[in-house]
Amino acid sequence: MTATASQTSLDEAAATLRSTLAVFTEPGALAALGDQDLLTLLRETERLGRSIDGVRVLAAGEIADRSRPDLGPGHLSTRLGCRTPAEVIERTALVSGRTARARVRLAERIRPAVTLTGELLPGAFPRVRAALADGTLSTDAAAAIVGELGPVLDRGSVIDAIEGVDGVHAAEHELVAAAQAGEPCDDVRMMAQTRALFLDPDGALPDEERAQRKRGIHLGRQRDGVVPFNGALLPEVAAQLQLLLDAYTNPKAGEGPRFVPDP
């Protein structure tokens, strides 16, 4: 299928879907449904929404991949005048920066890897990706699983000494299955936290390497005459910055010896 034919098919499918859903947004349409029909509508639209969310995350991952700095000055985000892949998504999809960044973070964890020869390898969490793609896993549950197990995987796969299996991916399989079976997202998050703590009891301890990866300062776009910023600093850098800020904000900082005329 050519790119033009694919776009035409996508446009037609989107138009049909919007037309179908419009029936239920008419005034009084939902009130006319019986209890079971209303619950069925909720269930099926949520399933459809999960499928769409899965595509959103995968598309975010592709945008991030096409915006890699190693591609040179012509990479996607630069061509569009954006500083980051998340900003491309924010402007194109008209979502918040927080939502865009969350999609990119999740996509980075589940995106397949590509070898130097072009061979596709499974991403860090293949079961999460598959469940997202077929609409059986919400992005909230996926983020909970990946968010808790990801740091454990970063510090090295945990092999069960008895079963001889990869503990992280065994946990991934169980958590995805639990979510697909109907476990609420908050419960899945708690289960993921428990599994992560079991697999890596020392994970909550300070880690210099993790701190180095997380450090950085991010400047936002100017709005209403100010530029917002956020970030994370190493303790020693934060202490130096605090001294610098205190020196500038101290009302006595501008005071020094003054000369007055003799009476």
Tell me the pLDDT of the chain averaged across its residues.
83
Compute CA distances 223 → 77, 124, 226, 227, 229, whole Å. Answer: 21, 38, 6, 6, 12
Q: What is the pLDDT of residue 262?
A: 66
pLDDT (tens digit, 9 = 90+) per residue, 190-245?
Answer: 999 999 888 887 665 555 666 776 788 877 777 778 878 778 887 778 878 888 87
Q: Which residues contact 32 (CB under 8 A, 6 or more apart)?
A: none
Compute CA distances 65 → 45, 53, 114, 163, 229, whole Å. Answer: 30, 18, 11, 36, 25
CB crowding 154-166: b at 16 or more within 10 Å, else e: eeeebeeeeeeee
Q: Does the pLDDT value for residue 12 go beyond 60?
A: yes
Q: Would the pTM count as exceeding 0.75?
A: no
